[in-house]
A and B are shown apart, each in its own frame.
Chain A
């Protein structure tokens, strides 16, 4: 993945999480992965198009998703209902949108697809021929992984 793309994603994830969760956010070590990657339980996905093709996946386990949604809504949410899903989807949208804005300022033109959310057990994601950049984020609510796979349009 092009080096120029990395920072906007890392920065916007950090900023948005810090803002919406009102707490400390720690960034883990970035790494690359090319095999199929297990998904922790709740995954929001935003597609990218334009100069590039790819997707950004926000991955967390269910308790984390519930806690994050609770903080964002200012009320205690205990079950994985529509509200929780909508909240996580919105979080994914916010982070990606901010990253894309930053990229736009650098001269890269990306478009977003509407986000979608997946929940379930034992899921994995694999991308043919693209390696994914994993950005782990530690928050007070639990661990989130931002998984970015982008390639230049051939």
Chain B
């Protein structure tokens, strides 16, 4: 407890009286009660370190909207979360530097502050009188509610602080952040009429039908080729779908077998998939690379497939940064594809001109020179498992995200964001986009490049 006189202390002094009023029942659970958006809530007192009134929190850029900032609590910097924003409850307007009611909570080793409308008192109840949450308390997700209890004529909703703030819950929240844009467009599996409902007559039935068909096509792509239509590739899908309608001329638009899915996906792959990049694409990628005098360059190339793009990129990097020490981690979860990558042998006549200076003649044919070979680690690795990499300057991930499940795409993009250095560059497949607030597009055209926003 703080040395400041605060309402909690007062509340504790008050409590015995109240206990007598409540009589009979054994008090084995104490909670701090407070109000949020006009409703009464409680938090287990064991999670409450102290309470305080504070304001003028230091703003922290780029955090979730419910994080109000950080606060200096007698030398400890704690983050401050606005519970009302977190739970989408109305926030009363306050003056700029008015003090807010702050509950300082402790969950495991984390200490942080939460802002509530007003803090009431400490109420002692019997654990057995807590009733399970009821769905009608709809403002707050039921999984965050530990139970409901009645005390002195008031109903209190007891929040499960551990569930709301445990580090694990935080991690789970992140993918949701990325799913949001995907959800704005009809998700792959539903094909629900949704927004069309408001329109009228024949137009409506046509739109509904078109959306149903595109829904079926999405479903087909996912089940035959594990291609998930999300924000990453939605733009391409729409263009391709209208093209598809024209191609099939109103006949059967749906995908019945893998060959149909392949036909639909024809044209999705980035240029030079499964072969060394041609001079045009090589130059396009090179022009995206930032000017840097860095001595060392770490590159991550998940989903490298047979490794052609990794070799191409390695050459591009060597031409652009002849002095730098380049390290490329290339991984793929397809063992058959990647197993040939490290020992690739080329026919010198088929290799585009820009690469020839890096080739040396070996026992079995032409290979890249040892400096380039040593810069690449080809790994049999699944990007969905943990990726133990140092921070990287460049991520090249062409046409891989689209073939992950929607929630996995969000997770991997998050991981990219985490692993990429501040000034780093992300290159996706030509028809893919990172498409969230977290990334800003750098160029249009053949190379789909992004920087951290």
Contact = CB atoms under 8 A, between A and B. Distances in A.
A34 B385 contact: yes
A75 interface: no
Contacts, number: 42
Name the interface size band of chain A.
10 to 19
Contacts of B377: 2, 152
A129 B388 contact: yes
A130 to B, nearest CB: 7
Contacts of A131: 381-382, 385-386
A154 B379 CA distance: 15
Interface of A: 1-4, 6-7, 30, 32, 34, 129-131, 133, 151-152, 154
A122 B378 CA distance: 35
B335 A151 contact: no
B382 A34 contact: yes
Contacts of A129: 386, 388
Given A30-B335, A32-B333, A2 B386 contact: no
A32 B342 contact: no
B385 A3 contact: no
A130 B385 CA distance: 8
Nearest to A4: B342
A151 to B, nearest CB: 6
B388 A130 contact: yes
Interface string B79-113: 00000000000000000000000000000000000
Closest 3 CB pairs of A and B: A34-B385, A131-B385, A3-B378
Secondary structure class of chain B's binding surface, majority of residues: mixed
B379 to A, nearest CB: 5
A2 B333 contact: no
Contacts of B379: 1-3
Contact of B380 (A1, A130, A152, A154): A1
Interface in B364-406: 377-382, 385-386, 388, 390
Contacts of B286: none
Contacts of A7: 339
Contact of A3 (B338, B382, B388): B338
B381 A1 contact: yes
Contacts of B341: 3
B338 A32 contact: no
Given A130-B388, A151-B388, A154-B390, A32 B339 contact: no
Interface string B147-190: 00000000000000000000000000000000000000000000
